[in-house]
Structure 1
Amino acid sequence: MTLKVYLSGEIHTDWRDQIIAGSKGLDVSFSGPVTDHAASDDCGVKILGAEDQKYWHDHKGAMVNAILTRKGLNDADVVVVRFGDQYKQWNAAFDAGYAAALGKSLIILHGPDHQHALKEVDAAALAVASEPSQVVDILRYVLDGTLPA
């Protein structure tokens, strides 16, 4: 059974790479958003034309990015959403809610400083991890019943 995992959330650290590398040998396929921040912000206006107002600039980008996000979330068996320390990830919170509404198995990944702020998001998850290695351990357990040493 190939497990389809969508990796959503912050784009400023290597957490995705850690999960992908740690999952070598597991029957997992990964997908996720465009992680080039500038490309993600500017895709709408670069493709569909410039906007004078920042609102419309951002709105176009959000709509174009939503094509990939919706596809990834709809196709996923498991959705991992990472909340980092550097910025507020409102888009990650939206992805978590969307995944929960779809009935997806949801793993939330964040540090202890976010426990209170994300309590409702955490309550919708099947697991709340603090390290990418814990996500790998969950995937390994789900796929072959192996526990960490």
Structure 2
Amino acid sequence: MLTVYLSGEIHTDWREQIVDGAHGLDVRFHGPVTDHEASDDCGVAIMGAEDDKFWHDRKGAQLNAIRTRKGIEDADIVVVRFGDQYKQWNAAFDAGYAAALGKSLIILHGPDHAHALKEVDAAALAVAERPEQVVQMLRYVLSGELPG
């Protein structure tokens, strides 16, 4: 069984496309909390309110970092998606962390980001433009089966 951590952009359904496409494969998926409000407010919801937005955000970021580190450390493969709409500094950090741990890393982004992410792409073992390519990669890793 492969454990795959799906990191990065939370505004599109790319995770669902990969999970659905991998149905029947021996893969277990994990990822961050993708409910943006819950992710932002987890720290204060658990540890108490903060008057200063900086500390509000800090509590959430640190609590989310525990989940992210655990997910990346436990993963066999880390997939990091860079979307088109926002700058994803957290995705770049996750990719760097996974690379530093020697994790098998797949980067997922559209062709418009190829230049901006060339160093991130160079650290990866594979780069995909579409979620279905990630599914094909997972199928190949598990079975040696090519798409067709």
TM-score, length-scaled by structure 2: 0.98
Letter paired with 1:46: A
Equivalent positions of 1:59-98 (< 5 A) are 59-98=58-97
TM-score by length of 1: 0.97
Report what 2:124 is aligned to: 125
2-side partners of 1:51 and 1:121: how far apart?
A: 35
Query: Are 2:14 and 1:15 aligned?
Result: yes
Identify unmatched segments of 5+ residues in structure 1: none
Q: CA deviation at 1:117?
A: 1.1
Secondary structure of 2:34's match? coil
Task: State the distance in 1 between where 2:113 and 2:28 align.
Answer: 28
Helix, strand or coil at the partner of 1:85: coil
For the aligned residue pairs, the C-alpha RMSD in angstroms reads 0.6
Q: Distance in 2 between matches of 1:97 and 1:52?
A: 32
Give the match for residue 146 of structure 1: 145
What's the counterpart of residue 39 of structure 1?
Answer: 38
Q: Percent identity?
A: 80
CA shift digits 1:94-135 (9 cap, x unpaired): 000000000000000000111111111101000010000000
For each residue in 1:58-82, what CA deviation from the matched residue of structure 2 results, as whole angstroms up to 9, or x when unmatched? 1100111011101100000000000
Q: Matches of 2:129 and 2:105 in 1, distance apart?
A: 14
Distance 2:54 2:88 in 1: 18
Paired with 1:63 and 1:117, the residues of 2 have a C-alpha distance of 27
Q: How many angstroms apart in 2 are the aligned matches of 1:129 and 1:39?
A: 29
For this pair of structures, how many residues does the alignment match?
Answer: 148
Gaps of 5+ in 2: none
Instruction: Encode CA deviations 1:31-68: one digit per residue, 9 max, x unaligned.
Output: 00000000001111111111122211111001110111
> 2: distance between equivalents of 1:42 and 1:91?
17
User: Deviation above 2 Å: which 4+ runs of structure 1?
Assistant: none
Match of 1:113 in 2: 112
